[in-house]
């Protein structure tokens, strides 16, 4: 099963054309290497309502298994990606954000400043990634080993239970 993904870069400057989006293309490259199917890719400004609306549209549309956001997870007053995500998800998946921060702390102490979250809306996993291309790719790499299984579980795929032992 190929994972169907959407990528949203959240950046005022990239949205206005003042700075090229480098994180979105870096994530597209990883998705391509993994054989995932890119459904949508866009840049949005740091606007809570706009981002929340797009996350709802994409998750409820049923076309995507995974939505990755990149950017807007820091301390700046305009960084509202976690708030937009919290406004739309139905269930938190704290282990994902914890794993990303834990791994990133091995690289930089600034990882503890990440407010990124992850959660589920309908049958779609939404994950906030850092805004830097390097940070976004490194954090996604932490998740790659579990994403296929996560998508299987979200879709209640019987194959998700293969290899699990009953205790």
Could you write out the DSSP letters of every residue in 116-144? --EEEETTEEEEEE-SSHHHHHHHHHHHH
pLDDT at 163: 65
pLDDT at 166: 56
pLDDT at 160: 86
pLDDT block averages, 10 residues each, the chain of length 167: 94 98 98 98 98 98 98 97 98 98 97 97 98 98 97 93 66
Give dist(CA 75, CA 130) in Å, integer: 12
Query: Which CATH number is 4-161 given?
Result: 3.40.980.10
Helix, strand, coil percentages, rounded to 5, for the chain: 50, 20, 35
pLDDT at 78: 96
Write the CA distances from 74 to 71, 117, 128, 160, integer angstroms.
8, 11, 11, 34
Q: What is the pTM of this model?
A: 0.96
Residue 42 near residue 8, CB atoms below 8 Å: yes
pLDDT at 162: 81
pLDDT at 167: 52
Q: Is 140 exposed, middle or buried (0-12, 13-18, 19+ CB in 10 A)?
A: buried
């Amino acid at each position: 099963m190929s994972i169907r993904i959407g990528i949203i870069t959240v950046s005022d400057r990239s949205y206005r054309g003042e700075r090229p989006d480098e994180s979105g293309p870096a994530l597209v490259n990883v998705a391509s290497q993994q054989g995932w199917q890119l459904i949508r890719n866009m840049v949005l400004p740091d606007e809570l309502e706009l981002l929340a609306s797009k996350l709802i549209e994409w998750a409820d549309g049923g076309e995507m298994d995974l939505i990755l956001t990149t950017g807007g997870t820091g301390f700046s007053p305009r960084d509202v990606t976690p708030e937009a995500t919290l406004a739309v998800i139905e269930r938190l998946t704290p282990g994902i954000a914890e794993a990303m921060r834990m791994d990133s702390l091995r690289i930089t102490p600034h990882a503890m400043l990440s407010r990124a979250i992850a959660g589920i809306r309908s049958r779609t996993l939404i994950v906030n990634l850092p805004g830097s291309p390097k940070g976004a790719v490194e954090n996604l790499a932490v998740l790659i080993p579990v994403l296929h299984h996560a998508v299987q579980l979200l879709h209640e795929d019987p194959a998700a239970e293969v290899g699990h032992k009953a205790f």
